Amino acid sequence: MDNNRIDIKNIPVSVETYKPEQSSQTKYASRDRIYVRSVKGLHQSLRRNMGFVFMALFMLLPWIQYNGTQAILLNIGEQKFNIFALTLWPQDFTILAWIFVIAAYALFFVTAFYGRVWCGYLCPQSVWTFIFMWFEEKIQGSRNQRMTLDKAPWSLSKFAKKALTHFCWLAFALLTSLIFVGYFTPVGPLFINFFTFEAGFWAVLSVLFFTLCTYGNAGWMREIMCTHICPYARFQSAMFDKDTFTVAYDEQRGENRGPRSRKDTDYKAQGLGDCIDCNLCVHVCPTGIDIRNGLQYECINCGACIDACDDTMTKMGYPTGLISYTTEHNLKGQKTRIFRGKLIGYFLVLVLVCAAFVINLALRKPLELDVMLDRGSVGGSLYRETASGLIENTYRLAMINKSQQPITLLLSVDSAEPLQWIGPTEVSLAGGESRDVPVSLALDPNEANRGRIIIRFSITDQANPALTVSQESTFFAGR
């Protein structure tokens, strides 16, 4: 018997897998429609007035004329953006980049200070949704009337109300889509050509696309855009802290909830708080949440629940502010720190990027020059010899007048060698015009050394000699 042998014992192993119980319920619950109740109050008046002002600006700005042209025209086809006296070209991409960076840090700063107020007061999705809900309320009635209408069987009255509602939605979506596309193409001809069926393919396609998107987003999807699609709802919590002002419910004051009579003054002796559990804060919420459940990412800080609750507290004779813009520290009886590291950091970065934008804009010259050696004119060669024995190089001077005023430019070249200029020495450009001007330079090989000669082209404003733009290039004088 081998004493070094190790006996092997077979141990049966059974792997248990978890199988969830089969249920007749669907995997995902269907979306329940939210019937938003209208409410009046300070915050809703502020929201409506701000929405009205910015909607009016949105609709009026494309119609404003400046120097005989559309004041704001983002012409993608011609690759230039006219914003009143400012014309931006692809070369000015850094300016657009700074604008986006400023907008981002301004959003971060506001969010760290006052929560998601951008969503509740100025976000286009929220503004259009509130307008669509206004149409719905005016045509179909109040919240209870709309719920009753949807439960009722189809009739001529129900069909008429539904059809009129969707007609108004589509009409408003079409109007705003035409205006939006009017920022990218002349708005006057767009309206005329669209309704006379003479608009171009891409213009019509863009208008119809944005019409359907607006109709779908504001009419059907609504809170889904805020709760499931918008990325801001997901990363906003990274900017929140315990000193951020958000819409919150004072649980210590409100609990326990329960109904009672207005004349009931000893409700606290019964163990009740100030919340009468009327659920109006839920009925007026555009995303359908219950703010009493605590901070939720679906909340867009529109303040509708604050106005509804304050109205109820006033009727009951209780102090207002059961739901308010407050901080987590304040709810716990601690002091709120307004000036804190995160907020100061966002503010300082915002100031820096604003300064960088202003400096970039101030240093921007209204002229652009790009010099390209034209080989095509000499069969792909860098230079050619003329019949008189001169060495000639041909260039294309790409010039852009970034201003909106006509300008006359003087063309010149600086060189250590005696180059002969062949071509125009004066060019006039209209406001916002770009032009390629071919010029040639010739050199007598007997008057200079052959080889590679560094030269510098310049364009100068005839009316303002201080405005000069130069670019270095090379003259090839052979071997």
Of the chain, the percentage scoring pLDDT greater than 70 comes to: 92
Helices 124-140 and 156-181, axial angle in degrees (round to 10): 150
Choose among 38, 35, 119, 52: nearest CA to 307: 38
pTM for this entry: 0.81
Tell me: pLDDT of 20 over 70.
Answer: no
DSSP state of 41: S
- The predicted model gives 430-453 an average pLDDT of 86
287 confidence band (pLDDT: 50, 70, 90): very high
CA distance 252 to 280: 19
Half-sphere exposure of 436 (CA within 13 A, CB side): 8
Contact 374, 398 (CB under 8 A): no
Task: Write phi, then psi, for 230 (nearest 5 degrees).
Answer: -65, 125
Over the stretch 92-145, which tens digit does the pLDDT of each residue have? Answer: 888 889 999 999 999 999 999 999 899 999 999 999 999 999 999 999 999 999
CA distance 37 to 281: 9
- The predicted model gives 217-235 an average pLDDT of 88
Contact 296, 246 (CB under 8 A): no
Q: What is the pLDDT of residue 3?
A: 58
283 confidence band (pLDDT: 50, 70, 90): very high
The answer, yes or no, to whether the previous bond of 256 is cis (omega within 30 of 0) is yes
Question: What structural domains and CATH numbers belong to the chain?
Answer: 241-331 (no CATH), 367-476 (2.60.40.10)
Q: What is the pLDDT of residue 28?
A: 46
Q: What is the pLDDT of residue 6?
A: 58
Tell me: pLDDT of 396 over 70.
Answer: yes
- The predicted model gives 257-285 an average pLDDT of 91
7 confidence band (pLDDT: 50, 70, 90): low
Over the stretch 309-351, which tens digit does the pLDDT of each residue have? Answer: 999 999 999 999 999 999 999 999 999 999 999 999 999 999 9
Largest Cα–Cα distance of the chain, in whole Å?
114
- The predicted model gives 397-403 an average pLDDT of 91
CA distance 127 to 48: 9
